[in-house]
Structure 1
Amino acid sequence: MGEYEEIANRFAELSGEQRLEILLKLLDKQTKISTIAKELGATIPEVYRNFERLVNADLISKNPDGSYSITSLGKILGSQISTVNFLLRNKKYFKNHDFEQLPLKFIHRIGVLDKGEIINGFVKVQERCNEIYENAEQYIYNILFEVPYTPDVMEILIKKLTDRTKIRSIFSESAIIPKERKFMIDKMGFKEYIQSGAIERKMKKDVSTIVILNEKEAGIMFPTNGEVDVSKAIFSKDPLFHEWCLDYFNYNWDISDSFREAKLK
């Protein structure tokens, strides 16, 4: 067998739409043939044949109770299919947005963002960001390029800080800072929370991908031609989507520098 022949054979088993659907459904949980047949609106003999092909390809296995589970090999291939599905489903978005600047370990997991909803328009994106702030109970984490110091955002953050919600922010060294920033910080008492450690801040030389999350939901904004774009974003409450965004934030937090006020223009 040639170097790539076995790989080609594995993918050939996934070339059928029904087999592909079966594999992706088994990614979520084990199931029985009758259940899948009902969900797909197909006959049991037809679905059985496709189950057998997937078993013979070592992509799924039969359990003692008659149900089927995905194998380790199946999980790996299935996760890659999720990535392709995510990119194809959002090909219009990724025609003008890129994630090439991401570390490779995050690109490998990009398919978990498949459950996200794309929001268009600066106002709608900001509204969803505010909802993430408002819904936070334990923490608010964000990587920021443009810093919104509007009264409505500041009031939300002050309320959350009063409720003992922690805030961690990573600022770009070239962050766009409105003129009223210092006045709003002094007026609303943010210095007290900074000094107490309720607000923690760091800085990063270059920020192009924006992330905003609380303990339950997250949003991400990919750049356009390397430039920050806050007019389009992907949001979700899906646990895997959230985990990806949290991991990405923590990765950047660990490699960011200490916050220096003088760096902000």
Structure 2
Amino acid sequence: MENQERIERLYFELASESRLGILREINRQEGKMREIARKLDLTTTETFRQLQRLNEALLVQKQPDGNYTITEYGRFVLQLSASFEFIHKNRQFFSQHEFRRLPYQFLNRIGELSQATLKTDMMENINTAERITREADQYMWGGGAEQPLNIGPAVQENLPKGVKYKWLFPERFIPKQPLSPEVSRVVEWRSFEDMPVNIVLTEKEAGISFSLTGGKVDYVGFIGKDPVFLNWVKDLFLYYWEKGKRAS
């Protein structure tokens, strides 16, 4: 019961827009009370009161020189709060799509998608995926539970650039006919039968869509160029890639 009360108290502290704003500001740059109040356009009285609460919650601490700094605990809590904010902001999307099928370690990092943009127009997203593929300079990785997009022309177009490809799809979608020698040199296939996402990823940009609650994957999802978002998508793709079956 005592632990539950502490958790409820933490949620209460983070529910205040001014306290959360102060915590974020101190995370960006430590500062004295008046500096923090000025940057956030708060009164010194309000700032003092909120800093006291954050200090009592062990989220910040006051240094001997008067500067307030975020604690390691506060930094960790702030990192986790980004995931809750992201989920809440996109709650309608999450109510229609299954995220529980993702590996646990990626659910814990779901806030890393926050700098990507949710795109709901499926045809626009398909066109965007084809554009992302054409604009690759180093590599393009793609995978999912649905039939792959027709990116053959983009592969041919990118041959002079030496773009490398990794494709991860159910075995029924892997071509049975041999690829041309020049394409075979740059394309690597693996099969995976139960991938709950569609992914298109290059060194510049990524797009990802998720399974609907009924199991089918649609093309509504997140697109972005933010390095943190790209790293999350890349790590997820490699997770499934390592579990994939090498194409014979």
**TM-score using structure 2 length:** 0.86
Query: Given that residues 102 and 196 in structure 2 are in contact (C-alpha distance below 8 angstroms), is that contact kept between their aligned partners in structure 1?
Result: no
Q: Do structure 1's residue 86 and structure 2's residue 86 form an aligned pair?
A: yes
**1:217-256 correspondence to structure 2 within 5 Å:** 217-225=205-213, 226-230=215-219, 232-256=220-244
Q: Do structure 1's residue 210 and structure 2's residue 198 form an aligned pair?
A: yes
Question: Secondary structure of 1:128's partner?
Answer: helix
Measure how far apart 1:78 and its partner are: 1.5
Query: Given that residues 198 and 209 in structure 2 are in contact (C-alpha distance below 8 angstroms), is that contact kept between their aligned partners in structure 1?
Result: yes
Question: Secondary structure of 2:207's partner?
Answer: strand
- Between 51-60 and 205-214, the greater mean CA deviation after superposition: 51-60
Q: Which residue of 2 aligns with 1:156?
A: 154
Query: Given that residues 170 and 256 in structure 1 are in contact (C-alpha distance below 8 angstroms), is that contact kept between their aligned partners in structure 2?
Result: yes
CA deviations 1:23-62 (Å, max 9, x no partner) are 24445x2243556434533224322332232123221234
Identity %: 30
- Between 162-171 and 18-27, the greater mean CA deviation after superposition: 18-27
Aligned amino acid, residue 193 of structure 2: K
Aligned amino acid, residue 78 of structure 2: G
Structure 1 residues 233 and 35, CA, compared in 2 at 3 Å: closer, same or farther?
farther
Measure how far apart 1:203 and its partner are: 0.5
CA distance in 1, matches of 2:198, 2:35: 41
For these two proteins, the number of residue pairs brought into alignment is 245
Query: Given that residues 37 and 44 in structure 1 are in contact (C-alpha distance below 8 angstroms), is that contact kept between their aligned partners in structure 2?
Result: yes
Query: Given that residues 202 and 257 in structure 1 are in contact (C-alpha distance below 8 angstroms), is that contact kept between their aligned partners in structure 2?
Result: yes
CA deviations 1:135-171 (Å, max 9, x no partner) are 322211111322122xxx3332223332122111111
CA distance in 2, matches of 1:207, 1:215: 22
Q: Which residue of 2 aligns with 1:147?
A: 148
CA distance in 2, matches of 1:128, 1:39: 39
Query: Given that residues 174 and 205 in structure 1 are in contact (C-alpha distance below 8 angstroms), is that contact kept between their aligned partners in structure 2?
Result: no
Structure 1 residues 241 and 62, CA, compared in 2 at 3 Å: closer, same or farther?
farther
- Between 31-40 and 232-241, the greater mean CA deviation after superposition: 31-40
Q: Do structure 1's residue 52 and structure 2's residue 52 form an aligned pair?
A: yes
Structure 1 residues 4 and 131, CA, compared in 2 at 3 Å: closer, same or farther?
same
Pick aligned residue for 2:168 from 167, 170, 173: 170
Question: Secondary structure of 2:221's partner?
Answer: strand
Give unmatched runs, 5+ long, in structure 1. Answer: 261-265
CA distance in 2, matches of 1:133, 1:64: 54
CA distance in 1, matches of 2:64, 2:187: 53
Give unmatched runs, 5+ long, in structure 2. Answer: none
CA deviations 1:244-265 (Å, max 9, x no partner) are 11110110111110124xxxxx
